[in-house]
Structure 1
Amino acid sequence: MERELMEADIVVASRLSFKKKQAYEKYPKAQSSSRRWKHLKQILQAENFPDLPPDLPTYVNIESPPSTQPCKRLCDITGYEAPYVDPRTNLRYANAHVFQTVRSLSSDQVHQYLSIRNAAVVLK
């Protein structure tokens, strides 16, 4: 049996019909041209940053205008996104389990959480 397998002529097509065409088969001309990528240092040198005004945000300086998108509301306990706010304590929470934790907190702990968020409000 093994001998028959060794002697059998197996013919496999060089390109199978179910395989996708490679990019070099589709576009043979693009393969010949070599594209050289620039490093960040080369880009920075080409941009002439000293000639630009200092208040313009670039790769070099970190200062930029404030974001136009609203900030995310995060849970005060877990740090996850918080779609809910407890009306009694004004703490943000992410799910029902955290809500139970928020309701079990003392007023001093609630005040500490609010002061961390800079939302310290006099509680009723």
Structure 2
Amino acid sequence: GKVHSNMAECHLRQERWSDAIASASAALEADASNVKAFFRRAKAHEALGQASAAIADLQSFLRAYPGHQQAKAMFVRLSSGGDTEMPPPSSRPAPLWTTAVSPVMQREWLVGCFRLRVD
């Protein structure tokens, strides 16, 4: 459960949205009480323009952490959008770390993600 949830976070940081959703879903299949996986999957759904799926995951997350400011703001933003599905973001500039950091350092960071502690 925790390993898949941590992998989802790594995928989010790399903007690999579909992989993040798959990893978060695997985390929830292994441990349905892993609420962080709901939030991580919601962030990926939002990035893909899947507002209704993101809202459903946020509701599950906010039941466990009702005071989480980032999740509440995301929920309000998605809920007030009117449409249940949003268009995916148009061409966004690459994150700074992908242009300012060498490919070798990017791989080392990714390897470090998979070495996250799970205890």
Structure with higher helix content = 2
TM-score range, shorter chain: under 0.3
TM-score, length-normalised on structure 2?
0.23
TM-score, length-normalised on structure 1?
0.22
Higher Cα radius of gyration:
1
**Higher relative contact order structure (alpha carbons within 8 Å, sequence separation ≥ 6):** 2
